[in-house]
Amino acid sequence: MKDFAAIDFETANGERSSVCSVGVVVVRDGEIADTFYSLIQPEPNYYTYWCSRVHGLTREDTEEAPVFSEVWKQVEPLIEGLPLVAHNKGFDEGCLKAAFKVYQMDYPDYCFYDTLAAARRAFPCAENHQLHTVAALCGYDLTMHHNALADAEACACIAREIL
């Protein structure tokens, strides 16, 4: 793949609609052309201990953040016409659909590709197929794992290597 947008969401709680940050990496002609990161005020607006422990974000971090519908107005023009790529697309695509539903937005049926599924085919003998492991196999050092932009960059690196 030469043209795509890698996307990653972090959530505040067990609800897929509770996106609290998004990272997007736009790749054109095989090169990173643009990046985007934003905190998002989650819906429902509460954080579980376990989610905060994973990504380090808390309610205080997103108190003044825009809601999903406002953030998506910035993302939409960046990804227009591009397929989306995520590592474990079921999670990120589920988050996107849930947030669209909560904000009563029409979901445009984005085309999603999954680097997790591709990694299982490309690296069948890997110790696991977690994002940081596969990113390392593709030459990307994911030191800020669970930062949405860093995870999207890792996903973009994987996609350029194996999709």
Is 1's pLDDT higher than 90? no
Q: Tens digits of per-residue pLDDT, 137-160?
A: 999 999 989 999 999 999 999 999
What residue spans define the domains of the chain? 4-162
Q: What is the pLDDT of the chain when averaged over all its residues?
A: 97
The hierarchical CATH code for the domain 4-162 is 3.30.420.10
Q: Which of 97, 13, 103, 106 is nearest to 62 (CA)?
A: 13
What is the rounded CA–CA span in Å between residue 61 and residue 37?
14
Which pLDDT value is given to residue 62? 98
Reported as a single tens digit per residue, the pLDDT across 83-114 is 999 999 999 999 999 999 999 999 999 999 99
In 3D, which of 74, 3, 92 has the Cα closest to residue 37?
Answer: 74
**Rg over CA atoms, the chain:** 15
Position 128 scores a pLDDT of 97
What is the dihedral sign for C-alpha 79, 71, 147, 91? negative
Lookup result for tokens 């990694």: 119
156: helix, coil or strand? helix
